Chains A and B, each alone.
Chain A
Amino acid sequence: MSTNRKTMTYDHALLLHDGAVVTGNVAGNIAAVAKVLDLGEGLVEGDIVVDVSAIDVDQGDEAVTIGVEISSVAAFTSDYYRVASLQIGDAAVITGDVDMTTGRYIIPFRNEIANGVQKRYLRLYFNEVGTTTTFDCIAYLVKRSNV
């Protein structure tokens, strides 16, 4: 089966996380400031490109969940929802039976909760578990690719 690592156009305005090392539970950030995208009104579909440059799985208990969250509130102080997530890390603690570590992941995305209700603001949120978890990635939103 062929492998086709996706190449997509990068728009700096759609950057969601800039590569700062992630520790604990934290929102995606740029220059240490939490990053929230304003998607405008209506439905937005896209792909989130996540380039994972480092994840430690040495202890066999490390995992990082990359959550795609939306809200009607620009500051994410209320009315926020996780509409897609990807968990990577050691196979002992993630769903599946194979480690998921460094490389490029694509998370398809829609800014909807149930019954097509859309929310205007988007962020990433990282949750780490494990004894010695280190995690680093760059993430950005792109127009949906053609396969």
Chain B
Amino acid sequence: MSERARKTYDVDLELKDAGAIAASAAALVDAAAKILDLGTGTVEGDIIIDVSAMEVASDDEKYIIHAEVSSSATFASDIYAVASLILGSSGTAEWDNIPGDADMYIGRYVLPFRNEIVNGIPKRYMRLYTEVSGSIVTGINYTAYLSKRN
């Protein structure tokens, strides 16, 4: 059974616009690092990640999309990855590259998110960070935005 998640898109909550990533970097919108101010207190939501292209030709490509939070509006310090989604090639054998035994490839992913670190401590600012490894030429292309939880 499957039903592709449908969510209301709010441009103010866009976390990454289209653009290929071939090296580890913070997510951009209009070529500028995108950081959301979530305000004080706890925020729950779903991060919609639409992957349009992904290089897996060498069987060693891995792309980890981290939802990061911080008390710093510029992410200069106090940075935590509170949820991560690992995509890419499963490699040539089970657990060879990413966890599991099948590629995590293009399509729509939903990454549930809370802006809390340990013991319910919330952090006000969030961004996405893509960690890229493997034999990369073109890398990964995706868009992402934060949405209200279903």
Q: State the A residues within 8 Å of B (CB).
A: 1-6, 41-43, 45, 52, 67, 69, 78-87, 94-98, 100-110, 112-118, 125, 127, 144, 147
Contact = CB atoms under 8 A, between A and B. Distances in A.
Given A95-B66, A109-B112, A116 B101 contact: no
Interface residues of B, number: 54
Contacts of A41: 1
B81 A95 contact: yes
What does DSSP make chain A's interface, helix, strand, loop or mixed? Answer: strand
B40 A105 contact: no
Contacts of A101: 118
29 contacts: A1-B123, A2-B41, A4-B122, A45-B112, A69-B99, A79-B101, A79-B102, A80-B100, A80-B101, A82-B98, A82-B99, A83-B85, A84-B85, A84-B112, A86-B84, A95-B84, A95-B129, A102-B118, A105-B118, A106-B114, A108-B114, A110-B110, A112-B5, A112-B109, A112-B110, A114-B107, A115-B4, A116-B108, A125-B99
A83 B149 CA distance: 17
Contacts, number: 134
Contacts of A115: 2, 4, 107-108
